Structure 1
């Protein structure tokens, strides 16, 4: 039995004119990569930031997280950690509910 769903088997609308908001995934390799993320957020995109490449460099990781916090605050959006090295930044007017929704165990 298949244990995954092939998204190519599903029929999603692919009309780009219907899309109002995008979610981007950005990898951070150096501090300066934040400037591109700032641009995406200011354009109204959600950005999932993958910090796995810098996670072990504690000082750099801390500085990047602090700058992402400032970005969230300055842009009127929000920021939250999704995991050990994943962070999401939202655009203006979009908040993040920090409480996890937990499914029931069966």
Structure 2
């Protein structure tokens, strides 16, 4: 995988991290008024380019039981980034710790990375992709 591909993938991970942080962030925000609400048709942004296969994909997974781990691990070994919802396991501390330990082992094995996003999301990355743990700050306009 070339440096350009890795740079683009890392940039996408950072953008997604910022999006997820804004979406699930803990910052206090003022209430929006109905006049400020703008409906956006997200479908126009979801263009799928099926003719162009990608070197790496960003996959989303729910980790609800130990049975979900093999597919998540497979995706990491295949070189994909996986955003994992660990919320379904938060009431089963033992299973959650065991699952995170296994994911850490896989990421270490492929020389990837694993990082938590809030309390219910984890990003696991494959070979050559590291997650920068510093938050990007806007410069303001």
TM-score of the pair, normalised by structure 2: 0.65
C-alpha distance in structure 1 between counterparts of 2:38 and 2:106, whole Å: 39
Asked if residue 55 in structure 1 is aligned to residue 113 in structure 2, the reply is no
What's the CA shift for 1:100? 1.7
Offset at 1:103? 3.9
By percentage of residues, which structure has more helix? 2
2:68 alignment counterpart: 33
Runs of 4+ displaced beyond 6 Å: none
Describe the superposition over 1:56-78 as per-residue Cα deviations: whole angstroms up to 9, x where unpaired: 21111111111111111011211
Q: Which residue of 1 aligns with 2:40?
A: 5
CA distance in 1, matches of 2:69, 2:49: 30
Structure 2: distance between partners of 1:41 and 1:11: 24
Per the TM alignment, residue 80 of structure 1 is displaced from its structure 2 partner at its CA by 0.5
The structure whose Rg is larger is 2
Matches within 5 A, 1:1-106: 2-10=37-45, 12=47, 14-20=48-54, 21-103=56-138
CA RMSD of aligned residues (A): 2.2
Structure 1 gaps of 5+ residues are none
Count of residues paired in the alignment: 105
Gaps of 5+ in 2: 1-34
